[in-house]
Amino acid sequence: MEQSFEFANIRCGGCSATITKALKEAGFEGVSVDLSCEPRKVTAVISDEAQLAQFKSILRNLGYPLVGEEEGVIDNAALKLKSFVSCAVGKFSTDKESD
């Protein structure tokens, strides 16, 4: 079933490219990132609780926690730094593909 969740730290197409690539490499289908709303929504086909946990874990490891997820100051700063790097990687890979 297709499900959408709101994530923090997603800012642009670079973030979207990184998220989409990571989720598709993990086998998720129907992946999309909605940049038209705030907070940003990520959608994918998720069939069970294990796959949902994997989905959330992939995004958190990239620096994109669920909106409302409790974080300490240090954890929040680390996630923002991770998301900045993920965004830059996404921008770089998107630029390379267009060359």
CATH number of the domain at 90, please: 3.30.70.100
* Count of domains for the chain: 1
Cβ(7)–Cβ(65) under 8 Å?
yes
* Residue 99 confidence (pLDDT): 46
Q: Taking the CB of residue 31, how many other CB atoms lie within 10 A of it?
A: 19
Q: Domain containing 6: what range?
A: 2-98
What is the tens place of the pLDDT at every residue in 46-89?
999 999 999 999 999 999 999 988 677 778 888 888 888 888 88
- This prediction's pTM: 0.85
Burial classification of residue 64, based on how many CB atoms lie within 10 Å of its CB (0-12 exposed, 13-18 middle, 19 or more buried)? buried
